[in-house]
Amino acid sequence: MIEDLGAPRAVVLLSGGLDSATALAIARAQGFEVHALSFRYGQRHAGEVEAARRVARAQGVAYHRIMSLGLDQVGGSALTADVPVPKGRSEKEIGRGIPVTYVPARNTIFLSFALAWCEVLGARDAFIGVNALDYSGYPDCRPEFIQAFERVAQLATRAAVEEPEPPFRIHAPLIRLTKAEIIRRGAALGVDYALTRSCYDPAPGDEACGLCDACQLRLKGFREAGLPDPVPYRSVPTGA
Amino acid sequence: MIEDLGAPRAVVLLSGGLDSATALAIARAQGFEVHALSFRYGQRHAGEVEAARRVARAQGVAYHRIMSLGLDQVGGSALTADVPVPKGRSEKEIGRGIPVTYVPARNTIFLSFALAWCEVLGARDAFIGVNALDYSGYPDCRPEFIQAFERVAQLATRAAVEEPEPPFRIHAPLIRLTKAEIIRRGAALGVDYALTRSCYDPAPGDEACGLCDACQLRLKGFREAGLPDPVPYRSVPTGA
């Protein structure tokens, strides 16, 4: 049983990275009772689930659900299959095309589960920390994708049939922010980024590699925000 | 490794019921190399996965993937939680409102996985046996839902970004057919309906209850098609 605290409920997709930790803080700042949803989906960087747990605890969510999904059964990505994670790519390379770390239909799948859980909770709001500026070119991080999924959500549920105006909303509060803006926003809301993890290929001691796209985008974001990145790195590229 | 047989590939969602068995036959008749996708999602009528296996084998698919999903972790349905399945409802009652057997966001979730697998296979076509005529009023069986999801599919994938015209299609070939029309269509294509299972609450010996909405819609369909239903029933309501 989930206690009814009176505030409207929202499901927040929480990966354990800095974006979703910030999206969670924004949902709370907007007055939602937050139900965080994370996935073990066969990702090689499974430490991110531990990071999600730390973030959920630190920010005080109503409930944190961790679902297991066998996306590795589907394959097709360096994050879930035996394909090397690219390292040391330049900023230009990161901005061009879709890298092998793309997981087929991942955000569609995650949002579908968020939708299911919203329905069970009677929630009409789901948050996802996607970002279409300092990102890896994933198709399912773009505003048009989020809009299209919101339309699905408005048609797919019991409320869509039983209630005249289903105001189901998919919130993507970071979608047009730079990584530096996201970090500044989160810092202002008290997000403890030491708890988050972004690296696609961390070392056994939980050190970030410093070289994968996710590390590089994160390091650049902290640099531009003028703040130190509190997580440990194994190596940081020259100039970072 | 999946052998390339030259025909275009399609992913077909296969529940083991009569609708999806017919959708599969239609996909094959349209010349697709069929990759069937079924789910163990915590449904109480898990025998339908066995039915799916029989149907896939009988119709000769290229590959049959059975994924496990913990939808029972989400709850909210008589099919996955400890809520009784309604029995003996009249036709009028079945046509009115959304019953407790509705599984929150189920088709959205299933289509998301179909999309992921299509991407991995290089397929641009997914089939789902939804039907908006003789059905249980589920919101995610309606044409507008299918169209909205097709739009998501056209935006969500690598092909959406890397190729100029992504003709991703969600096929719902049964959506405007009556149950009787579906059965006649499948019979003409050689579907062996003895292999399928539709009951939401089968008896231990795999007998259909004859009284749940799914049994009633199925029995009515065979009656109207003028064909015998080859599956065993524990009880059949008067007049059937």
| Predicted pLDDT at B181 | 97
Query: Is residue A196 within 8 Å of A150, Cβ to Cβ?
Result: no
Is the pLDDT score of B115 beyond 50? Answer: yes
| B234 is a domain residue | no
Chain B (70-89) residues lying within 8 Å, Cβ to Cβ, of chain A? 70-71, 73-76
Please list, in sequence order, all residues whose beta carbon lies within 8 angstroms of the beta carbon of residue B225, skipping any fewer than 6 positions away: B179, B180, B181, B183, B184, B187
Task: Encode A98-108: b = buried (16+ Cβ within 10 Å), e = exposed.
Answer: bbebbbbbbbb
Amino acid, single-letter form, for residue B94? I
Q: Do B104 and A113 touch (CB under 8 A)?
A: no
Please report whether residue B237 resides in a domain.
no
Residues 149-188 of B with CB under 8 A from A: 149, 151-158, 160-162
In the predicted model, what is the mean pLDDT of residues B32-50?
86
Per-residue confidence (pLDDT) for residue B240, from 0 to 100? 46
Q: Is residue B235 part of a domain?
A: no
Rounded to two decimals, the pTM is: 0.88
Alpha-carbon dihedral sign for residues A114, A116, A119, A120 = negative
Q: Is residue A239 situated within a structural domain? A: no
Helix or strand (DSSP H, E) at A183:
helix A179-188
Report the CATH number that the domain containing residue A119 is assigned in CATH: 3.40.50.620
Q: How far apart are the first and last CA of chain B?
A: 47
A17 lies in some domain: yes
- In this structure, of A37-46, A119-128, A168-177, B95-104, the range with the lowest mean pLDDT score is B95-104
Nearest to B141 by CA among B213, B189, B82: B213
Number of domains chain A is built from: 1
Quick: pLDDT tens for A135-167: 767 888 889 999 999 999 998 887 777 776 557
> Residue B4: what pLDDT?
56
Nearest to B73 by CA among A15, A37, A123, A67: A67
Give the bridge partners for B71, in sequence order: none
Asked whether residue A238 is assigned to any structural domain, the reply reads: no
Predicted local confidence at residue A34, as pLDDT: 97
Closest partner residue to B116 (CB to CB) among A104, A120, A161 is A104
Please report whether residue B4 resides in a domain.
Answer: no
Contacts of B137 in chain A (CB under 8 A): 161
> Smallest Cβ distance to B73: which of A67, A73, A148?
A67
Q: What is the largest CA-CA distance in chain B?
A: 58
In sequence order, what are the beta bridge partners of A37? A13, A65
CB contact under 8 A, B104 and A119: yes
**B113 pLDDT tier (thresholds 50, 70, 90):** very high
Enclosing domain of residue B90:
9-225
Complex ipTM: 0.86
In a domain, B24, yes or no: yes
With vertex at residue B175, the alpha carbon angle to CA B103 and CA B45, rounded to the nearest 5 degrees, is: 35
Closest to B123 (Cα-Cα) out of B21, B24, B9: B9
Which B residues in the span 112-141 are in contact with A, Cβ-Cβ below 8 Å? 112-113, 115-117, 119-120, 137, 139-140
